[in-house]
Every structure is written in C-alpha cells, then in structure tokens.
Structure 1
Amino acid sequence: MAHIDYFFATISPFSYLCGTRPAEIAAKHGATLTYRPLDIMGLFARTGGTAPKDRHPSRAEYRLQELRRQAAQVGMPLNPKPAFWPTNPAPSSYAIIAAQNEGGDVAGLVHAIGAACWAEERDIAQDDVIRDCLTKAGFAPDLADKHMLTSAETYAANLEDAVAKGAFGAPFFITDTDERFWGQDRLAGLDAYLAG
C-alpha cells in the first residue's frame, strides 16, 4: 500500500486550494495519507525560501495573479488578501494533528480551516474559530485542548521531517518511494504516479 506524507500550512493559500483532493486521490489508489501541518515560515528559513512580505514586488504581484487563476480553475472562493493573514498557524495545526490522532474527517477539517482563513475572513488562530471548524467536521469542539502537548511536539517534528525529506514549500507531497510533488497544481501528477 502506497503512503503519502502531506506537508502543508494552514495559512498557505495554495494548501487551501488543495481542498479535499489529497484525500480523494489517496482513497482512489488505496494509499494512506498523513497530514503534516508545519510552520511554513520556519520551512522557508531553513530551505532558502522567502516570506511573502519580503518578496520582490514582481513576485508578489505574480502570486496574486496566480491565486486568482488557481482559485477560478478549481472553483473555490478565495480572498487573496484576507483580513486575518498572516496569523499564528500553530493552534489550527494542533487541532488537525489531534483530529488525525482521533480519526475521522480530517480532510473536512483541513478544508474548513483553510476556508475560514481564505474565504470567510476569520482568524484561524482564535479558539472559537477552531472549535467551529472542529464541530463542522464532526469532531468534539474541545479536541485540540485535550491534546495540546502531543500536538505541539508533532507540529515541531513535522518541520524537521519536512526539511530532512526535501520539502521546501506548501503544499508538498512525498510518497513512500520518495517521489515529491510541490504545489496544489501538481496533484494530477501525484494521481498519475500512484496510478503507475
């Protein structure tokens, strides 16, 4: 059975634009999928990337154009300059890690958190927003509170694993055969690879 490590950031618009497709692709091919939320700014610092606020204006302008095009292509609402961005990604990441350990609709939770930030003008660092997203995905609203220490340790480990495995952006998919796919626009390539 194939396995996919899905490294992503809850504050990444490109991670949001994956929607639930990573889970759908994994299910289609009988593969397992591990959600690995991480500190994207830490990943950039460790792998030669640049935070969006520090990029050259031409790169920043292109990013906004690409977000508009990619959102239209997948039919997802997206505000390229949301009110609560950047924000602290750790609380929402802890909720996802706790949900994955619990079992359930993790894909739905990841999508709800992304939509809260990028389509609903909500601050995903706030407890009430996280609790609402957990509830929408069928989890207990206080799930993240119960597993904070374990989730924090996993969140830190995810960054270390991402660097060690060669990830440098988000979303980043790495198979158990070390095939790497960077970006939501590479999901078709992941799908094709798993198909053989």
Structure 2
Amino acid sequence: MAHIDYYLTTLSPFAYLAGTRLEEIAAKHNATITYKPLDIMTLFARTGGTAPKDRHPNRMEYRNQELRRQTAKAGLALTPKPAHWPTNPAPSSYALIAAQVAGRGDLGGLAHSIMRACWAEEEDIAEDAVVKACLSAHGFDPKLADSGLLSGAETYAQNLEDAIAAGVFGAPFYIVDGEERFWGQDRLDDLDAFLSGAL
C-alpha cells in the first residue's frame, strides 16, 4: 500500500484548486495520506523561494494568469484577491493537525473547506468561528480548534523540518513512500499515473 505525505499551507490557492483530487486518487489506489501543514514563508526562506509580496512583477503576472487558467480547469470559484489574504495560517493548520489525530471525520473535506473559506468565501481562516464551522461541517468536534493548540504548534514546526529534509520547497507538495516527489496540483495526474505504474 502506497503512502502519500501531503505538504500544504492553508493559504495556498493552488492547494485549494487541487480540490479533493488527491483523496480521490488515494482511494483509487488504496493509498494512505498524512496531511502535513507547514509555515510556507519560512519554507521559502530556507529553500531559496520568495514570498509573493517580494516577487518580481513578471513572476506575479504569470502567477495571476496561471491562477486564472487553473481555476477554469478545476471548475472552482476563486477570488483572485481575497479580502483576508494573507492571514495567519496557524489556527487553521493546528485544527487540521488536531483533526487528523482525532480521526473519524472527513479530513480531505476539512482541508478543502478551510482553503475554500479563504479563496472563495471571503472569510478569515485565522478566525476561530471560521475554523470551528469547517471542523463541524466535516464531522469533527469544533472544540479541536482550542484543544489542539499546543500539540498542533509542535507538529506544525516539525512538519517544516520534515519538509526540508524530504526535499520540499513549495506547496502543495506530494511525496509517495518518502521517495517520489510531485510539486503542484497540476502534477496530480502524474501522481495518479505513478501509482498506476505508468511513470
């Protein structure tokens, strides 16, 4: 059985545009997933990346075109400049980590709903009420947003170290069985083909 480490930030529009395709691919191949939210700005700083606000206008213009194209391909609603972006990704990340430990809910649905709240619903995912609503909607106790703070912070920091050790430099990033790396939601078809033995 294959295992996928999924490195993400709840602030990523590209992780949002993945929808629930990762979960569908994993189910198709009977693969397991570990969700590993991390501090993307620190990851950029430590692996040679640049925060969006510091990128050259040419890069940002291309990013905006790519967002438009990828949004059309995904068939999802997306606000190019959300009201609450960037915001603090830690509360939503800690909640996702706590939900993964708790189990019994729809973790993929939770991750997607948090990102949808930011990118399509103009909500601030740093707000407790937003995070708790997402938890509740996907079968988790909303109190996880409060009870998971300490362990969530520790895991969040460890996920960053794990990412760097594993060769991660952006998000979304998928690693199969600790070896095969795929960067970006536009590589999910390749991930599917790899799990099928075609790549």
**TM-score, normalised by the number of residues in structure 2:** 0.97
Letter in 2 for 1:80: P
8 Å CA contact retained: 2:166, 2:178:
no
- Kindly provide the CA deviation profile for residues 119-139 of structure 1, in whole angstroms up to 9, marking residues without a partner as x: 000000000110111111111
**Helix, strand or coil for the counterpart of 1:24?**
helix
* TM superposition outliers: structure 1 runs of 4+ over 6 Å: none
1:133-189 Cα offsets, whole Å, 9 max, x none, are 111111111112112111111000000000000000000001115100000000000
2:167 corresponds to = 166
Equivalent-residue separation in structure 1 for 2:31 and 2:74 (angstroms): 23
Structure 2 residue identity aligned to 1:59: R
Please report the TM-score for the alignment, with normalisation by the length of structure 1: 0.98
1:29 maps to 29
Summarize the alignment of residues 1-196 of structure 1 with structure 2, pairs less than 5 Å apart. Answer: 1-103=1-103, 104-196=105-197
What is the RMSD of the two structures over their aligned residues, measured on CA atoms? 0.7
The one-letter amino acid of 2:172's match is P
> How many residues are aligned here?
196
- The sequence identity of aligned pairs, in percent, is 70
- For 2:53, the aligned partner's letter is K
Other structure's SS at 1:30 match: coil
Unpaired stretches in structure 2, ≥5 consecutive residues: none
Q: Distance in 1 between matches of 2:112 and 2:137?
A: 10
Change over 3 Å in CA distance of 1:34–1:86 after alignment to 2: same
Matched to 2:73, the amino acid is Q
Structure 1 residue runs without a partner (length 5+): none
Distance in 2 separating the partners of 1:157 and 1:177? 16
1:4-54 superposed Cα distances (whole Å, 9 cap, x missing partner): 000000001011111111111111101110000001001100100000000
